[in-house]
Structure 1
Amino acid sequence: MDGNNGAAAANADAGTNAAANEGTANAGAGNAGGTVEIKVWDQPQNEDPNKPVWEEIQAGFEAANPNIKVTHETMPQGTNDREVFVTSMVGGNGPDAYQSAHFPIIGDWVGQGLALDLTPYWDGYADKDQFIPSSMTAGTIDGKVYGIPHDMYATGLFYNKKMFTAAGLDPNKPPANWDELVADGIKLTDTAKKQYGITLLGMEWADWWFEYYVWQAGGDLTHLNDDGTVTLAFTEEPSVTALQFYKDLKWKHKIVQNNVLQSYQDNMNDIFQGRAAMSNGASSGFGDYAANGMDLADVGFAPYPVGPSGQGPSQIGGAYWIINPKTSKEKQDAAWKYITYINSKEVLEKYLQFQSDNGIFPNLLSVRSDVNPADFAENVSQELIDNVNKAAANTHLEYFLKERLTPYVVKAVQKALTDEKSDPMALLAEAQAAAQKEVVDAYNASVKK
């Protein structure tokens, strides 16, 4: 998921050109010689390896825009960054600009009045056609633009080519459908070696990976209606089929990890240490494999195996910059100028160059069509790049209202994975009834007001 490293950052050199290129009729911050002060939640953590270049950019922007003073802050501490943001905004203490409005929740935040309609700015933005269409999908609501993407990833099937070869499988032929996933998983599972076929995610983010199987079965967990209301789809056939298959991977086929509730990091450790042959991967994750001792020549990446629907879409995720709708127009203008500076071609490429110079593996998917991360990545095969683009060609956004519905889906998934006698349909029916009563009824009522 997305870090707080300003993945759309670069350097002071780019500042003057970027700032000049991004001006619009609506972005005349700091006119009449005054100084505009804005608060932005984008200060990198001390342990962030990109911190030097991020701070260099910040200095570059202010050098190019002396009438805009930006106070960079780290997010206040809390158990959930999204809850911290919402609480701060409701209390009138939110930032003027924020970089972590994630793809699955920006629509919810727009509905809560937490994001400014950026359409007037966007319409005058010289670079608007440089952003790839899929990066704009979640941030464009009812034809209006509310977010500018700064980081994006696409998911797909990670597989260990070395383990495929050892199991007698073709390392250039990953499973193409559910049947092949099971068949390959059985061959890749060796309990004596504590080796298994594919990781499942059963911890508190379980719905994150489970929803992919729902898509592969031809459905989704929610439907967003034309009037803005939401209809739950937990008990629809694709959701039930997906949970049954998910359960079967554990109890019938026995090709997943023993501890299905283990942490996400433990899943990753199983990949790094050669215990898991297949898992979910992302265009932003290859650096982690390399940093943990894996040879990228052994890393396979492919679109997901298709389910009964004949589809295996990649999840696209990432984060948008948004602007506080409650702050002054002057501050909004200044925030827009800052955001477009951060997202300029010059800045993005300098950021990528910094990563290349410092041995930091880049995300291989860019929000801008005129910026190619592969140009800055050494020791990356064309095959890997091509497969990332192949996975990104068929994409799906995470299910609507996920932020509020996660606990209900997770409870059903965890029960299916830990109780062999559980009934997926009954579990999902129970989850849907609770979610309808405790979340969706109130949400739909608020939309209709």
Structure 2
Amino acid sequence: MRTLWLGKRAYAAAVLVLVLVISACSGGGGSTSSESKGANAPVTSDNKPDDGNKASEGNAAEGSGPVIELTVWDAPKPEDPQKALTEELFSEFEKANPNIKVTHELMPQGTNDREVFVTAMAGGNGPDAYSAAHFPIIGDWVGQGLALDLTPYWESYADKDQFIESSLQAGTIDGKVYGLPNDMYVTGLLWNKKLFEEAGLDRNTPPANWDEVVSFGKKLTKEDKKQYALTLLGMEWADWWFEYYVWQAGGDLTELNADGTVKLTFTSDATVKALQYYKDLKWTHKIVQNNVLQSYQDNMNDLFQGRAAMTNGASGGFGEYAANGLDLNDLGFAPYPVGPSGKGPSQIGGAYWIINPKSSKEKQDAAWKYVTYMMSKEVREKYYQFQMDNGIFPNLLSVRKDVDPGKYTTNVPQDLIDGVTKAAADSRLEYYLKERLTPYVVKAVQQALTDEKSDVMTLLQKAQEAAQKEVVDAYNASLK
């Protein structure tokens, strides 16, 4: 849900590593070797590639005519250790494209990056290209007219088949492409192999289903050592992890109808089963942390300090784990245990490059050239190589099929890389309208975790009634 889970959104070292991962996946640049590809062919006024036999006056791709000026929110922060590389790549792009002048800016300050972007766009001050249209918020932004339909560009993009299918899911709406994949992560079950071994469990075998989570959990929970089996998330992002349990039970928190309207499924059999199980982990089985409302970072601290044996992990987080003293050889990563549905899908998240639909056609053409240049195989590999040379841990999941992060790691166990690959094979996007519905789901989850006598159906019914009245009715009406 969050780019990474790298803080939806810490220790100073952890923050540094996460910043590196983010900038590595969304830092700028270009590659002259991709210039001859169809992705960078001249583009005509109807967004279709020119056949090369006629010039488009003022088109930056032609290498002649007036300079096209772009504003892009992708400047590296002053403390970014990759700043020099990023600026070098910026320079290479401009040398290869003298008719495109890119002004690289940091995102304006604000408490919420998404609100900052939407506010800027509404005021006519948005960038021509933006690299952080998150999964799944891009759907809302498309509905608000904040992202250009990139389909005509995409259809002639020589590298379109080099992006993994799951990276395209959130950015493809009604058969149209609105986002170019920038970075991505996948979640899964992360466990401490050392604690498994100490509990008499096979260090390489995680729980396969809900029943085994409980049976393993009882062996892993040791009150005298202040050690517990599994972290739950009960604070303001509680729905982030809870939705995984709903998926495992065979449902989701919302359904998207054919006409685009939304149906709430808070009271479905799957959601009720999931919340009852979540509650039982706390009150019946007692295998989770005592403070179920502690922060996400406190959950991670429990992992770092050997108090938590299992948690949710992400493909972009291993650098943080290593920076906080964990031996990667003692960590396991796998798809989630299955629930009553027999499935345990992982969650995918990340961000897209989008282009401003209100920019001029010439700027849109130039912006497409810039973002595809920046996401080229050559540039991605330069970042991975830089990370390896400088001890920066990479995200183990690449949006490009032809860029293998495993080649740029020297101390990552193969089973971790294999676990990420397996988790990515069965993945889902977060539930529809999550941004607006989070408070309602969170309230129900928190009450279930803090009140042993609470009835989960009653909690979910109240949450659904409030969400229907305060969010969904108005949303559905707006579509008509």
1:93-137 residue CA offsets vs partner (Å, 9 max, x unmatched): 111111111111111111111110000100111100111111101
Contact 1:235 1:429 in 2 (8 A): yes
Matching residue of 1:15: 31
Q: TM-score when scaled to structure 1?
A: 0.96
Matching residue of 2:311: 279
Q: Measure the CA separation in 2 of the matches of 1:24 and 1:245.
A: 55
Of stretches 221-230 and 24-33 in structure 1, the one that deviates more from structure 2 is 24-33
**Given the alignment, which residue of 365, 368, 373 partners 2:397?**
365
Q: Measure the CA separation in 1 of the matches of 2:190 and 2:36.
A: 42
**Given the alignment, which residue of 124, 135, 142 partners 1:110?**
142
Q: Measure the CA separation in 1 of the matches of 2:433 and 2:28.
A: 36
Determine if the alignment matches structure 1 residue 178 to structure 2 residue 210: yes
Matching residue of 2:9: none
The alignment partner of 2:407 has SS state of: helix
The alignment partner of 1:287 has SS state of: helix
Instruction: For 1:172-251, list aligned pairs within 5 A.
Output: 172-251=204-283
Contact 1:216 1:313 in 2 (8 A): yes
Determine if the alignment matches structure 1 residue 85 to structure 2 residue 117: yes
Give the superposition deviation at 1:9: 5.5
**Given the alignment, which residue of 409, 417, 422 partners 2:441?**
409
Q: TM-score when scaled to structure 2?
A: 0.90
Determine if the alignment matches structure 1 residue 37 to structure 2 residue 54: no
The alignment partner of 1:165 has SS state of: helix
Q: Measure the CA separation in 2 of the matches of 1:166 and 1:204.
A: 33
Number of positions where the alignment pairs a residue of Structure 1 with one of Structure 2: 447
Give the superposition deviation at 1:271: 0.8
Q: Measure the CA separation in 1 of the matches of 2:341 and 2:60.
A: 51
The alignment partner of 1:168 has SS state of: coil
Instruction: For 1:310-321, list aligned pairs within 5 A.
Output: 310-321=342-353
Give the superposition deviation at 1:382: 1.8
- AA of the residue aligned to 2:297: Q
Give the superposition deviation at 1:11: 8.1
Give the superposition deviation at 1:231: 0.6
- AA of the residue aligned to 1:78: G
1:173-192 residue CA offsets vs partner (Å, 9 max, x unmatched): 10000000011111111111
Q: Measure the CA separation in 2 of the matches of 1:253 and 1:50.
A: 46
Determine if the alignment matches structure 1 residue 291 to structure 2 residue 323: yes
1:110-165 residue CA offsets vs partner (Å, 9 max, x unmatched): 11111100001001111001111111011111110000111011110000000000
Give the superposition deviation at 1:297: 0.5
Contact 2:28 2:74 in 1 (8 A): no
Contact 2:24 2:384 in 1 (8 A): no
1:297-320 residue CA offsets vs partner (Å, 9 max, x unmatched): 000111100000000001011100
- AA of the residue aligned to 1:154: V
Give the superposition deviation at 1:233: 0.8
Query: Gapped runs of 5+ residues in structure 2?
Result: 7-18, 44-48, 50-58
Query: Gapped runs of 5+ residues in structure 1?
Result: none
Of stretches 91-100 and 300-309 in structure 1, the one that deviates more from structure 2 is 91-100
The alignment partner of 1:33 has SS state of: coil
Give the superposition deviation at 1:25: 3.7
1:294-343 residue CA offsets vs partner (Å, 9 max, x unmatched): 11100011110000000000101110000111111111111111100111
